[in-house]
Amino acid sequence: MDLSVIIVNYNTKSLLQKCLESVFASQTNYQFEVLVSDNASTDGSVEMLKQNFPKAKLIENTANLGFSKGNNVAIKQALGKYILLLNSDTEVRIDTFDLSIKYLDEHQEAGIMGCKVLMPDGSLDKACRRRFPNLWNSFLRLFGLKKFSDYNINTPIDQETEVDAVMGAYLMIRKSVVEKIGLLDEEYFMYGEDIDWCWRVKEAGFKVMYYPAAQITHYKYGSAQTAPFKTIRLAHEAMKIFYRKHYAQRYNWLFNQFVYLGINLRMYLVLILNMFRKKKTVH
């Protein structure tokens, strides 16, 4: 088996159907399997999957395990040389898998690759190629000055680039690398686990690559829209976890408390702004 495509689903029936239609329409000579880890959906996702996609392996979790644990359950059963985390709110192109596998076959130094992720309007989802968050770019984003931040990468979108992190909406990793660095950190319920995995991959001596020849469309926040306030809290909890794991040891206790306070203030600001937004966001 060349590739294991893993999709975590939670109440995204319509998006999941479109995603799987695009997955099984892929044109590739490589062998791939599809594992759907369903987090106790109640919207008919499971019934739709059983009826329309019998080739997909369904894992029926008895509760909402979150993104990290939901993926890990499937990763433990995956047979592929490569593991692909794919969001249910995405659609792949017919050659996306083919190009991605060929790229990793030809670039042994790459532990993780991500593709060009386009929004429905054709614009780039900037989170598909980014630097690790740090105190400076987080401070600028906190105060609405993200245009001055170096968090996003400004090279041409069609330029292959080594990056710090790609996004979990489409993240392909070598199974051998997973065996070396471990599974996703289940302390992250949702958000942050993809950046954390990229950090650990780079610590292990591998590169994280953005490869724009492979492309997907991302409809964004599929599950998050069903519970925007909860997901805002989870997104900011993920920031705290990432900071505590990778930065807190560099600073004293008092400074770290100010950082956590800043994250909390940002969370409340986003909650307030969302009260006036038609389209909710978690960041």
Q: Which two tokens stand for residue 107?
A: 């670039």
pLDDT score of 280: 56
pLDDT score of 43: 95
Question: Is there a contact between 80 and 2 (Cβ–Cβ < 8 Å)?
Answer: yes
pLDDT score of 277: 67
Strand partners, 86: 170
Give start and end residues of each alpha helix (H) in 156-227. Answer: 175-181, 193-203
pLDDT score of 88: 97
Q: Which two tokens stand for residue 126?
A: 């900037």
CA distance 165 to 174: 15
Domains of the chain, first to last:
3-224 (3.90.550.10), 225-274 (no CATH)
Could you say which DSSP state residue 26 is in? -
CA distance 154 to 150: 9
pLDDT score of 244: 95
pLDDT score of 265: 87
Residues 6+ apart with CB under 8 A from 102: none
Q: What's the whole-model pTM score?
A: 0.91
Enumerate residue ranges in the chain where pLDDT < 50. 223-224
Closest-CA residue to 138 (of 261, 277, 272): 261
Residue 132 zone, left/alpha/beta (φ > 0; ψ -120 to 50; rest):
beta
CA distance 203 to 209: 14
pLDDT score of 60: 98
